[in-house]
Amino acid sequence: MAGDRQVQYTKEERELRQQHLLAHMEAKRRVVSFAVGMCVLLAAFVAFLVLQHEDVQRNYIYPYEYREYIAEYGQRYDVDPYLVAAVIKTESKFKSNAKSSHGAVGLMQLMPETAVWIAGQLEDMQFSPSRLQEPLCNIRYGTWYLGSLQEEFRGNEVLMLAAYNAGRGNVLEWMEKYGWGYDFQDISAIPFRETEEYVRSVLKNKAKYHQLYEDKDMEKQVKGRQQNSNEHDS
């Protein structure tokens, strides 16, 4: 019967049909790839817009927990509180139970032996290494240490942060070996890659904390002064 008859193709016709089929499949693949690519770009664009919103950045990217401790000890030891916050974000991402493979502990990733030395400087007879996971103790000690480095390196944040990460001994050695002065700013010249990246990260985070929180902190201070004035007048 005619319905049972199979069409016979020549070799050239079969090759041509195969080429058409492959071309069709390739076109379909490109369309799907284009659609997927556009979806990814759209999602990335939306995510970018969301992440640019300052409230999102404050809540999820640049948190400012333990603000009262940071403000108190920043003022006591004359250290920019936004620098302290930036160190905490870089060191531990505000995780009070953080512990590094080298043994550094807590929010500001202090080595226990360094903390013991700081306790001696502060005449803190109540200190024990287990307290480094307490936010108040860790922030107090870490901020005091930053203040000590700030004084030693004459306010040079590049040098003091390099010393916080790599040790003051290494930084003093680099200053002597490479002829760095207290006006040194060439972060790329820091011999340790980890320390170079650390300094860049902290300074970037510090700038971001200033951008996100400085105005709000000033508003809070103004409101506090107004409230105190009103209470005094009444």
C-alpha 81, offset from chain centre: 15
Question: Residue type for 75, please?
Answer: Q
In the chain the first and final C-alpha atoms are separated, in Å, by 110
Digit-coded pLDDT (tens) for 45-90: 444 544 556 888 888 899 999 999 999 999 999 999 999 999 999 9
- 9-28 mean pLDDT: 76
pLDDT value of residue 221: 53
d(CA 113, CA 119): 10
CA distance 140 to 76: 9
Q: What is 65-228's CATH number, 1.10.530.10, 1.50.10.100, 3.40.50.150, 3.30.300.30? A: 1.10.530.10
Q: Between these two residues, 136 and 216, which has the higher pLDDT value? A: 136
Catalytic residues: 91
**Residue 216: pLDDT above 80?**
no
10: confidence class by pLDDT, cuts 50, 70, 90? confident
Residue 52 has a pLDDT of 54
pLDDT score at 1: 47
Q: What percent of the chain shows pLDDT beyond 70?
A: 81
Structure confidence at residue 184 (pLDDT): 98
pTM: 0.74
pLDDT-derived band at 130, boundaries 50, 70, 90:
very high
Query: Which of the 8 DSSP states describes residue 99?
Result: B
Q: Give the pLDDT score at 5.
A: 54
| Rounded distance between C-alpha atoms, residue 150 and residue 47, angstroms | 38
Q: How far apart are CA 96 and CA 34, in angstroms?
A: 45
State residue 222's pLDDT score: 42
Angle among Cα 46, 56, 215 to the nearest 5 degrees reads 130
What is the mean predicted confidence (pLDDT) over 198-202? 98
For every residue of 184-211, DSSP letters joined together read: ---GGG-S-HHHHHHHHHHHHHHHHHHH
- DSSP three-state, residue 105: strand
Q: What ranges do the domains of the chain cover?
A: 10-52, 65-228
Query: Mean pLDDT across the stretch 105-109?
Result: 98
Decide if 168 contacts 149 (C-beta within 8 A).
Answer: yes
For position 50, what pLDDT does the model report? 46
Question: Is 226 a residue whose pLDDT tops 50?
Answer: no
pLDDT of 229 higher than 70: no
